[in-house]
Every structure is written in C-alpha cells, then in structure tokens.
C-alpha cells in the first residue's frame, strides 16, 4: 500500500482566486500531489489540526536565492567607493564552482522557513541551483539565466539551454517539484536572434518564459534607440508574447497603457516586487495593471535588493502601498506650504478619492492569489498554490493562537497583514512533514543539514570577498 498523509482541520483554505473559503476538510497527501480533498469530512486516521489554518505553501514568483549572500553588501561597497552594480558584476564574475550551490541554500532555507514551497528563481550556475534546492527541500521553477549581449552569463546561452533540457528529463527533480523554465535575462541583454530561439524552445518544449522587462530606464532607452518602440512592443513584434506557453515578465516599471493592453490580450503575467522596486527605482503601478486585467504575481526579488526572502512580508504592500499615494500628492504640498484649514480638507479629500479609486477592492483573497493560484498555474508541468487533487502536496499549518495572528477573526486578513512566519506550526512538502510538527523553525535551525550549509556558505563568502578585495 502506498503511503499517504491525512490532515484534518476545521479551517482549511479551499477554492482559488477571489473565491477562497475557510472550511472543515480532510486532505489526503500523496508523495507528490494532493490525492483527495473531502470537504466537511473528518477522517478517523487524519492528523487532527483543528484550530490551525491549513493553506497551500506560498509561491515566490521572482527571486534569485543565491544572492542572499550579498545582503547588505551595498553599504560595504560604498565604504570602499564602489558602485553597487559594478560590484555585483565583479562578484558574479568571481564566483567559483560550488559557490552558487552554497549561497543558494541559505536563501532557500530562509524561503522555506517563511512557508514558501516553490520559488521562481532566475540565475546562473546551471545545476548548482537545482542541487541547492534539493539539499534544502524547496521546490522551484528554475530559469537558467540566458544572455548574449551583456552580463556575467554572456556566452553561456547554449549551456543554459542544455541544462533546461537536462532538467526537463530529470524525473527525480520533477517529483520534488523542481521544473525548468526558459530564462532570457532582459530585453537589452538578449539579442533578437536569441529571443526568437528561446520562443521556439518555449513552444517546442511547452515551457514558460521568465524574464525581466521594462525594469530600468536604461533598458527602456535602449529599446527605443535600437527598435523604435517600448520593450513590451518589441517582444510582441518579434513573436515572443504569442508563444503557446505562459510568459512572466518582471518589474514592468515603465509599461504604458498600450503595453498593458498587449499583455492582457496575450495573458502575459507581470511580476510585482514592491520592496525591491522601492529600493532600486520605484514600486510598479499595480493599479493600472489590475485595471487592464493583466494577471500579476508577487515576488521578493533577491536578498541583495530586498533583504528578505519572506514573501509573506510582501503581502501587505500591494494594498498598503496605495496608502502612500496621498503623501506625495500636490495637495500635500499645499498643506506644508501653510495652506491651513482649507489645504487640510483638500488633502483629506484627495485621500478619499485615492482610496475609492482602487484600494478598497484589493481584499486578502486577491492579494493571496498573487502568491497562490496565479503563479501556481504558470507552469504546465506543475500545479501548485491551491489545495485540490492533482496540485502539489505542499501545505502549511498556521497557529492562529500565536500572538502574531491572534485572534485571527478574519484569518485571511491576518495572514496578509500580520507577521505570520513565526506562527508556522508545521509544513508538508510533497506530502512529507518538513522538520517537526509543532517545532517547525527550531527543528530546521537545529538540523545538521542547516548547520553544515551555514558553515560552508560563510567560508565561501569570506573567500569570495577576499578575491574581489572587500576583505
């Protein structure tokens, strides 16, 4: 008889998109997928988790887990008079065999400890990234960065394509929830020919494409100089957006309404990484993406530009971010200029207008869709982010009596706006408990694997910093 795990709770999050409901149910988890969901039924042989909220594990739709090793390095670099971007290039060019695996494990541990089951990663190093995810037990839709015009992966495009094929035939990795994705770096670092080749591979192999697009003013200017149009219009013109598989374009800071119309018509998803974008440029204009009907997903981006791999910490930003709008409105210039009573009234009215224009419609279920069902449906080989038969058996049990979530009168609101990670009671990946039930964080942090990984990563980082003259 095959081994299955049965979990029961009176609070299981079923449904997807905006139609989430919290109900009593028994989940039957197989070694890879959820085998059954029995709503309203309590099976005798199920582990009773009553009072705990059972949800799908999170999907972090854009990150570079290996770059957690560069967290805070901007400050270190500026002391030496270096420019951060030059420094990343120098660091990435000085990486040695084994470094990416060691650094990626640390980012993967952080993601796992925050209830993430799957990361959409995009980086160099080929199979080292896959091995790191396997070492830790994290799932991944892994894009091996391809670029031929500029960047550290230049000349590595053919090798990256070979790794994609190897991973596509790797059944052990697939069973662990690790699947390949095509990863062109961006519109200004990848030639038209390579983009066309990648589109053909996506079509032929039925794999999604994950790329950066309209992420910097430099990229936008290069698109206009080279092609006479925006990055999105160029990708549409050369056929990339019309491939049969899904396309995920991340950042989209400079997309206009015409771009959004194209993306909506092509069902292309945009990736929103609010904290990272606020550091590097500015947060994307999510409100217009939503108005245009473009599917959107949430990511942390890298530890080097966000400082956390905790996707749950981003959940409050899509809604709360709107609250910063009135701070920068012209009406507040009038308040500070001494406009008195009338200026205060005008500022408050601007705030009311701002909120009625979108904030009140972005409820917890819509935000959670950006880390559950929407990214969980991007890959044809792996459904995740939803508790239904056939989806990955990646489940998190949240302790609603933990001070960080209590009293959880609206558990989905608490999950979006609270600091939920400390309240993880247990987690299952591929139907198997991760660490100890009831001592999730402690058992992982005390594990031999984690401690060995931390020692190796620290030693390798010291040597890397020495090689580039930062020690």
Find the part of the chain contacting Zn ion (CB under 5 A) among 102-110, 297-305, 386-394, 423-431: 297-305
Which CB, 110 or 301, lies closer to Zn ion?
301
Least Å from the CB of residue 16 to Zn ion: 26
Q: How far apart are the first and last CA of the chain?
A: 57
User: Which one of 179-187, 234-242, 296-304, 371-379 is the stretch in contact with Zn ion (CB under 5 A)?
Assistant: 296-304
Closer by beta carbon to Zn ion, 301 or else 394: 301
Q: Which is nearer to Zn ion, 219 or 301 (CB)?
A: 301
* Among candidate residues 107, 124, 125, the one with its CA nearest the CA of residue 116: 107
We find the least distance from the C-beta atom of residue 42 to Zn ion, in angstroms, to be 44
Nearest to 4 by CA among 30, 42, 26: 30
Angle between helix axes 127-136 and 157-168 (nearest 10 degrees) is 40
Shortest approach of Zn ion to residue 32 CB, angstroms?
29
Q: Among 10-18, 199-207, 295-303, 381-389, which window interacts with Zn ion (CB under 5 A)? A: 295-303
Binding to Zn ion (CB under 5 A) within 188-247 occurs at: none
For Zn ion (CB under 5 A), the number of binding residues is 1
Nearer to Zn ion, 135 or 301 (CB): 301
Subset of 300-329 contacting Zn ion (CB under 5 A): 301
State how far the Cα of 49 lies from the Cα of 446, in Å rounded to an integer.
24
User: Smallest distance, Å, CB 302 to Zn ion?
Assistant: 6
- Return the residue nearest Zn ion (CB atom): 301
Q: How far is the CB of 183 from Zn ion (least distance, A)?
A: 11
> Which range in 94-102, 182-190, 299-307, 401-409 contacts Zn ion by CB under 5 A?
299-307
Q: Are 323 and 359 in contact (CB under 8 A)?
A: yes
Minimum distance of Zn ion from residue 305's CB (angstroms): 8
Helix (H, G, I), strand (E, B) or coil at 234: helix
Nearest C-alpha neighbor of 224 from the set 199, 196, 187: 187
Residue 285 DSSP one-character state: -
CB-nearer residue toward Zn ion: 7 or 129: 129
In angstroms, give the least distance from the CB of 69 to Zn ion.
15
Contacts 24+ apart (CB under 8 A), 19-28: 19/365, 20/365, 20/368, 20/412, 22/53, 22/411, 22/412, 25/54, 25/387, 27/54, 27/387, 27/395, 28/4
Nearest to 426 by CA among 53, 58, 118, 23: 53
Shortest spacing between CB 434 and Zn ion, in angstroms = 26
Give the contact letters, 121-150, x = binds to Zn ion (CB under 5 A), - = no: ------------------------------
The residue (of 28 and 300) whose beta carbon lies closer to Zn ion is: 300
Is residue 385 classed as helix, strand or coil in its secondary structure?
coil
Phi, psi of 131 (to 5 degrees): -60, -40
The residue among 205 and 279 lying less far from Zn ion, judged by its C-beta, is 279
| Interface contacts to Zn ion, rule CB under 5 A | 301
């Amino acid at each position: 008889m095959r081994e299955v795990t049965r979990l029961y709770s009176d609070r299981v999050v079923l449904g997807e998109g905006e139609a989430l409901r919290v109900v009593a149910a028994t989940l039957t988890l197989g070694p890879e997928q959820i085998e059954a969901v029995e709503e309203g039924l309590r099976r005798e042989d199920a582990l009773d988790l009553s009072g705990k909220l059972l949800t799908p594990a999170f999907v972090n739709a854009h990150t570079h887990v290996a770059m957690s090793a560069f967290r805070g390095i901007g400050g270190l670099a500026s002391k030496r008079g270096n420019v951060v971007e030059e420094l990343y290039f120098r660091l990435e060019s000085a990486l040695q065999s084994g470094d990416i695996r060691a650094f990626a494990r640390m980012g993967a541990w952080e993601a796992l400890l925050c209830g993430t089951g799957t990361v959409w990663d995009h980086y160099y190093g080929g199979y080292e990234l896959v091995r790191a995810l396997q070492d830790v037990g994290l799932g991944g839709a892994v894009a091996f960065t391809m670029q031929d015009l500029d960047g550290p992966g230049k000349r590595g495009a053919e090798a990256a394509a070979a790794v994609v094929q190897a991973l596509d035939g790797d059944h052990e990795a697939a069973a662990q929830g690790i699947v390949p994705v095509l990863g062109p770096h961006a519109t200004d670092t990848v030639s038209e020919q390579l983009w066309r080749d990648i589109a053909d591979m996506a079509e032929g192999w039925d794999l999604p494409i994950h790329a950066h697009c309209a992420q910097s003013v430099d990229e936008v200017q290069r698109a206009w100089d080279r092609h006479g149009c925006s990055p999105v219009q160029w990708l549409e013109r050369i056929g990339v957006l019309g491939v049969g598989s899904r396309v995920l374009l991340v950042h989209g800071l400079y997309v206009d309404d015409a771009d959004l119309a194209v993306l909506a018509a092509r069902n292309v998803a945009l990736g929103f990484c609010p904290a990272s974008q606020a550091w590097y440029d500015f947060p994307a204009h999510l409100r217009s993406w939503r108005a245009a009907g473009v599917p959107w997903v949430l990511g942390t981006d890298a530890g080097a530009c966000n400082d956390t791999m905790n996707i749950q910490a981003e959940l409050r930003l899509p809604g709360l971010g709107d609250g910063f709008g009135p701070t920068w409105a012209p009406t507040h210039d009038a308040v500070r200029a001494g406009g008195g009573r009338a200026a205060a009234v005008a500022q408050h009215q601007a705030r009311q207008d701002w909120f009625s224009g979108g904030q009140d419609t972005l409820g917890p279920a819509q935000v959670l869709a950006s880390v559950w069902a929407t990214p969980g449906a991007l890959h044809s080989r792996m459904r995740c982010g939803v508790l239904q038969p056939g989806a990955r058996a990646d489940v998190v049990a949240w302790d609603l009596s933990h001070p960080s979530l209590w009293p959880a009168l609206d558990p989905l609101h608490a999950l979006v706006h609270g600091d939920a990670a400390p309240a993880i009671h247990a987690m299952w990946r591929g139907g198997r408990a991760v660490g100890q039930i009831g001592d999730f964080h402690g058992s992982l942090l005390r594990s031999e694997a984690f401690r060995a990984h931390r020692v190796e990563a620290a030693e390798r980082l010291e040597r890397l910093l020495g090689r580039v003259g930062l020690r």
